[in-house]
């Protein structure tokens, strides 16, 4: 079952702007589809996580990346994210997220009659890599922004980074927060979110943007898209999903059982991203077999490379869309 309704257009004049409500594996989920004209190839945005919604960031994507001029952009609020039910949020597992993505890809191909470019961010890129192993007939290529590949190594790298910052010109307040954070692993939302705040203030999430600015932008976007009650639900759901997924993610290691892919993969990393140490950025593309692999390490970019270096990331997406590989 699905229903359609018109969504408010952004600043870009769009020929297509609608939100589709889908029933996916027993969960109510929403996808907003945007394009400047009909007939464009589809690109699916798979948001970072765990528990982060996406529909409130549509305007930000449009400002920075302008993908709607080249693609039918599909912004997907994953299971339990955003203005979803508490039951859906509690049903999230890593395995279920992969299964949901497979179902979304099947729906998109049926709707567009085209192969899909999958634009995965952080944990979304990890899910995309896992789903692509069984869904290569539906995927044209993968764009993987800062994929989560090995939680233990990533946690160790972040902890070392934060300890290094403490030894520099860190404030007393920063040192107190770092002491409160403690050592990894981080399996509860409170510690995980505190680490995110510290990393943001060090420029590791969006380069040059403090946590307070990211939080303000996020809350404003949520209120505009979900409303007050929906925003409260979105924040509640984020905590529920993190509480369920963080213990599972402790053992995440793509190197232990790397996917074998039949589609091109384009990796994009940020030089200022503490979550992805250089060794992982170098080793991951070699570990996962694919017919074509490109890797770009961008300067002045944190974990959210697509917002820090949008022109370069956009050019990678456009090239992937023009790729003749089938």
Where are the alpha helices (H) located in the chain, listed in sequence order? 58-64, 86-90, 94-112, 123-132, 151-166, 172-181, 189-201, 211-249, 278-287, 305-308, 310-322
Query: pLDDT (tens digit, 9 = 90+) per residue, 269-323?
Result: 999 999 998 899 999 999 999 999 999 999 999 999 999 999 999 999 999 988 7
Q: Per-residue pLDDT for 5 more than 60?
A: no
Q: Per-residue pLDDT for 241 more than 80?
A: yes
Phi, psi of 193 (to 5 degrees): -70, -35
pLDDT band for position 11 (cuts 50, 70, 90): low
Edge-to-edge strand ranges of the sheet holding 42-46: 2-6, 16-24, 27-35, 72-77, 42-46, 116-121, 139-145, 265-270, 293-298
The DSSP secondary-structure symbol of 9 reads P
Q: Per-residue pLDDT for 12 more than 60?
A: no
CA distances from 142 to 5, 263, 289, 324 (A): 29, 7, 13, 14
pLDDT for position 169: 58
Cβ neighbours for 39, distance < 8 A, ≥ 6 positions apart = none
Average pLDDT, integer, range 236-263: 96
**223's torsion region: left (phi>0), alpha (psi -120 to 50) or beta?**
alpha
What is the C-alpha separation between 160 and 129, in angstroms, rounded?
28
Coil, strand or helix: which one is 132? helix
**What is the Cβ-side half-sphere exposure of residue 225, based on CA atoms within 13 angstroms?**
25
**Mean pLDDT score of the chain:** 92
pLDDT for position 168: 67
Query: pLDDT (tens digit, 9 = 90+) per residue, 96-147?
Result: 999 999 999 999 999 999 999 999 999 999 999 999 999 999 999 999 999 9
pLDDT for position 13: 84
pLDDT band for position 165 (cuts 50, 70, 90): confident
Query: pLDDT (tens digit, 9 = 90+) per residue, 20-56?
Result: 999 999 999 999 999 999 999 999 999 999 999 999 9
Q: Token pair for residue 48?
A: 């970072």
pLDDT for position 323: 77
CA angle 134, 48, 245 (to 5 degrees): 80
Query: pLDDT (tens digit, 9 = 90+) per residue, 72-82?
Result: 999 999 999 99
pLDDT for position 34: 97
Average pLDDT, integer, range 48-67: 96
CA distances from 5 to 17, 62, 234, 273 (A): 9, 20, 21, 38
């Amino acid at each position: 079952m699905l229903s359609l309704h018109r969504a408010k257009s952004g600043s870009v004049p769009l020929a297509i702007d609608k939100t589709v409500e889908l029933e996916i594996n027993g969960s109510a989920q929403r996808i907003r589809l945007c394009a400047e004209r009909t007939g464009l190839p589809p690109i699916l945005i798979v948001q970072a996580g765990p528990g982060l919604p996406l529909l409130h960031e549509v305007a930000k994507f449009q400002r920075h990346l302008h993908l709607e001029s080249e693609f039918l952009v599909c912004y997907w609020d994953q299971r339990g994210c955003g203005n979803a039910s508490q039951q859906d949020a509690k049903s999230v597992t890593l395995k279920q997220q992969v299964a949901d993505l497979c179902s979304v890809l099947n729906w998109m191909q049926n709707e567009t009659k085209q192969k899909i470019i999958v634009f995965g961010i952080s944990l979304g890129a990890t899910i995309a890599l896992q789903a692509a192993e069984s869904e290569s007939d539906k995927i044209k290529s993968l764009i993987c922004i800062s994929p989560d590949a090995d939680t233990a190594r990533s946690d160790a790298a972040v902890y070392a980074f934060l300890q290094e910052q403490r030894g520099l010109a860190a404030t007393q307040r920063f040192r107190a927060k770092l002491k409160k954070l403690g050592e990894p692993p981080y399996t509860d939302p409170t510690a995980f979110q505190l680490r995110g705040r510290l990393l943001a203030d060090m420029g590791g999430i969006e380069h040059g943007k403090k946590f307070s600015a990211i939080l303000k932008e996020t809350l404003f976007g949520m209120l505009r898209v979900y409303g007050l009650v929906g925003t409260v639900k979105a924040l509640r759901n984020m905590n529920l999903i993190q509480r369920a997924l963080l213990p599972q993610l402790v053992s995440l290691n793509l190197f232990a059982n790397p996917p074998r892919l039949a589609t091109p993969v384009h990796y994009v990393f940020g030089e200022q991203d503490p979550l992805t140490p250089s060794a992982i950025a170098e080793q991951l593309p070699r570990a996962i077999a694919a017919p074509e692999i490109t890797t770009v390490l961008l300067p002045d970019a944190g974990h959210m490379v697509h917002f820090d270096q949008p022109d370069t990331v956009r050019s990678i997406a456009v090239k992937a869309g023009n790729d003749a590989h089938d």
